[in-house]
Amino acid sequence: MAVFRKILLNRKLINVKNKSLFSRCIATDLHENILRSETEDISIPNITVPELLYDKISCYNKYTATESASTGRKYTYEQIRIKSRNFSKSLRTKFQLKDGDVVALFLPNVPEFIICLLGSMEARMVITTMNPMYTADEIARQIEDASPKLIITQSNLVPTVKSALDISKRKFPIVIVKETQAESLPEQTVNFSELIDATIDIPDIQPGDANEVTFIPYSSGTTGLPKGVLLTHRNLVSNILQLSHPDLSNYTSPSGDFQDAIPAVLPMYHIYGLMTNFVFLHQGSRSIAMEKFTPESYINVLKNNPISMIFAAPPLVLFLASYPAVKPEYFNHLKVLFSGAAPLGILDEERFIQKIKREVQIIQGYGLTESSPAVSFTPKNCKRTEKIAGSIGRPVPNTLVKIINPDDPEGKPLGPNQQGELILKGPQVMKGYYNRPEETKNVFLNGWLRTGDLGYYNDEKLLFITDRLKELIKVRGFQVAPAELEEIIRDHPAVADVAVIGIPHPTNGEVPRAFVVPKNENSTNLDEIQQYVANKVAKYKRLEGGIEIVKNIPRNPSGKILRRQLKIEYVEKQK
């Protein structure tokens, strides 16, 4: 054993300081084709997210934590701490909420989002987030599944919330985050400001268990309808610390008049945007919250702030590289561009560098909701070369990754340059799907999380994503579940059967396209079906790829739709 241990150390396969990991590796995970981080594993404390962040916040009290790009309202780190605690006590006293009750956030990116998160977590609540572009039908579906006891939203979204409550036959308090003090409060709603400014004389709430679920975002996983993903404090704390590792982090601690400034345009209801904002807090950065992306608003943020880091999905990178009003001088302070949610090609990286006329580090990462989200990251010491470009990097600390044949029930790891499904293990991996035991069982293979993404790693052990096994459609980095759209379209009285796939799009990545079997071909109105879907889903889920009339939908013997076959046939027709 001693000789074997020495060999492992020489090959830098493990960090023996972590004895539990070493024992686990000896038992199951020692294989040269299982990828690990090149950095040492980190120690993950057994604490909650508020405990982790509040410990750091005290170092940055006077600095701005978050501000609104549109109104300029802002909160310092000290204010975030005080108002989050006030909010946690208000949830307990005014609304009589208890441990484990669910609070829904139906908000765009506003400075108060962070207070909602930390206050709810400190009160030992569970948070579920909702896309502010959702329709009442979509919100009702999540309300029925997650059973929240309270929802926090904006005045302009109240009609959607009330319609969703009617559809779901639920009733609970609606709390309003006002954009300005002069804004009138809708009837039968509660002012958020009153909750965070109220000093309530009760003992501080004791932190809960790090293994308690604290966040339920929704993901379609590898297939099917959106499902609640059970993320614990430990999952989130692990990922915050993994991304804060010195070998990966590009942040600079605030000092004097200096503070990293970062546009927060990635939606905070999405795990990518939410986790980056937690890391911003952990590192003492100034987050500039953007309620929605428009060319003018984003350019104004670039012009008026010394932006040091940009977090983006590929469509935003393409915008920055091609939009005429984006000037090179706006990037004079930029240190690094992070791209995630979908692969960014080498040519797109080059266009961005050419546009800004200076070398900055471009880092790509990979993750999924089920892993909190980060799985792999380009280390900051990796120089941008042809071999690096397009890679999603190497596993973050404490994370194991392997590529397997998707049909191999044993999950034997493949070697370099062999394509297969990426699967992983790590402390950031979810507890499971909410009330979905069968789906939870199916997404794990011998304790490894199946991602449904196809890829490989090269001789330098850099990972690349090439395709998807899962049938999700990725529109500008957002997930669209074919099954969700199919369920809606089947309800249309003119439709007998339907299948939905994603087709390529020059700026959105993919868009949904429906193949419809009509009940009566001569009387089918495709425009009517298009509008029917548009009325029920968020804009990015609309059938921008069109509708095609077909005689039948291909299925396997058990009745499963063969979407991959439809996609191949569609691509062939375009040649």
Are residue 95 and residue 21 in the same domain, yes or no?
no
pLDDT above 70 for 6: no
Where residue 535 sits, what CATH number does that domain have?
3.30.300.30
Decide if 370 is inside a domain.
Answer: no
Average pLDDT, rounded, for the chain: 90
Decide if 134 is inside a domain.
Answer: yes
Domain containing 109: what range? 47-209
pLDDT above 70 for 11: no
Q: What is residue 379's predicted lDDT score, i.e. its pLDDT?
A: 79
- Last residue within a domain, chosen from 160, 180, 209: 209
Q: What is residue 30's predicted lDDT score, i.e. its pLDDT?
A: 65
203 upstream amide cis, omega within 30 of 0: no
Decide if 251 is inside a domain.
Answer: no
Are residue 138 and residue 25 in the same domain, yes or no?
no
The residue behind tokens 């380009």 is 378
Where residue 79 sits, what CATH number does that domain have?
3.40.50.12780
Domain count, the chain: 3
pLDDT tens digit sequence for 135-178: 999 999 999 999 999 999 999 999 999 999 999 999 999 999 99
Are residue 491 and residue 522 in the same domain, yes or no?
yes
Decide if 151 is inside a domain.
Answer: yes
Are residue 18 and residue 108 in the same domain, yes or no?
no
Are residue 55 and residue 204 in the same domain, yes or no?
yes
pLDDT above 90 for 27: no
Are residue 115 and residue 172 in the same domain, yes or no?
yes
Round to whole Å and give the CA distance between 338 and 113: 22
Q: What is residue 426's predicted lDDT score, i.e. its pLDDT?
A: 98
Span 431-442, average pLDDT: 96
pLDDT above 80 for 17: no
Query: What would the DSSP string read from start to end of 142-205?
Result: HHHHH--SEEEE-GGGHHHHHHHHHHHT----EEE--SSTTSPPPTT-EEHHHHHH----SPPP
Are residue 68 and residue 157 in the same domain, yes or no?
yes
Decide if 185 is inside a domain.
Answer: yes
Out of 64-78, 364-378, 462-476, least confident range:
462-476
More confident residue, 560 or 478: 478
Of all residues in the chain, what percent carry a pLDDT higher than 70? Answer: 94
Are residue 183 and residue 64 in the same domain, yes or no?
yes
Are residue 108 and residue 8 in the same domain, yes or no?
no
Q: What is residue 34's predicted lDDT score, i.e. its pLDDT?
A: 97
The pTM score is 0.86
Please enumerate in sequence order all residues whose Cβ is within 8 A of that of 343, keeping only pairs 6 or more positions apart, or say none: 314, 364, 390, 392, 465
Are residue 9 and residue 145 in the same domain, yes or no?
no
- Last residue within a domain, chosen from 186, 209, 232: 209
pLDDT above 60 for 216: yes
Span 187-211, average pLDDT: 95
Are residue 24 and residue 89 in the same domain, yes or no?
no
Are residue 105 and residue 158 in the same domain, yes or no?
yes
pLDDT tens digit sequence for 480-530: 989 899 989 988 999 999 999 999 998 888 999 999 999 887 778 999 999
